[in-house]
Structure 1
Amino acid sequence: MSKNTIKSLVLIFILLLLLTIGCNDQVNFGKAEKVVASFVSAQVEGDKQTVNSLISQELKKQFNENNQYFQEKYNLDKPNLVTTNIFELQSDEKQKVIVANYHVEAQGEKLNISSLFLLEKKGDKWIIESLEEISLSRS
């Protein structure tokens, strides 16, 4: 699968996700807001369990780095990372596109966050090329 095809699929997914979020009757704070937009260089083995473990670790790291942001912007007292769900959207021998959904909880409120990861194969290792926050909603 070519790089352009993967990019097109990612853009279509993001558009559908934004349309779905826009049609949601819940209050949505910061649709497609960039909470995190950073490049990381963590190397992992190519198997699915290790990739999922790396992404979970990266989400926890990003959450810890942005903990004060969540407290200030969303008035959350001592937010906790509750659950993580990881879905592989597209992959070939050179790239993987993965969406991770996770929940931040505090005082009975929940922030539902989706992040999009692009992984590229470098030799026999998978490298996280980019991490982009694609949606954030409050329930």
Structure 2
Amino acid sequence: MHAQASREVPCLGTTHADIFNGPVPVTRFLRREEVERDYELNTGKVIRERFEKIKPLERPGVLVAGHGPFAWGRTPGEAVENCLALEKIAKIALGTLFLNPSGPLFPRYLLDKHFQRKHGPGAYYGQKKGEKR
């Protein structure tokens, strides 16, 4: 629904922060000429354009406006996990905003803590024994 509405998924809780270091970004809509010529290539280009200032492994997914989600990871399995997580956090965000449309934003310091403990240099959460990310 977020992609159809061309809306980012805001970070509203720890489930989101464990995977995405910020909101799930959304691309711009493709222009008519981008759709009529090389549609699939141009879909990739708008994703790349959206990530010019974002580290892809810190936000391992994107919503293509009017289209749907795309996700990636270091391995095919991680890409699938990230896609499933994206779907879950989008659903959680929708429910959260429905229940409390004017609720407080999730504090950046909590987002940083949850993201870094799983993905930072001293990661310790969600790792298998001896595994490094």
Question: Common fold, TM-score beyond 0.5?
Answer: no
TM-score (norm 1): 0.27
TM-score (norm 2): 0.28
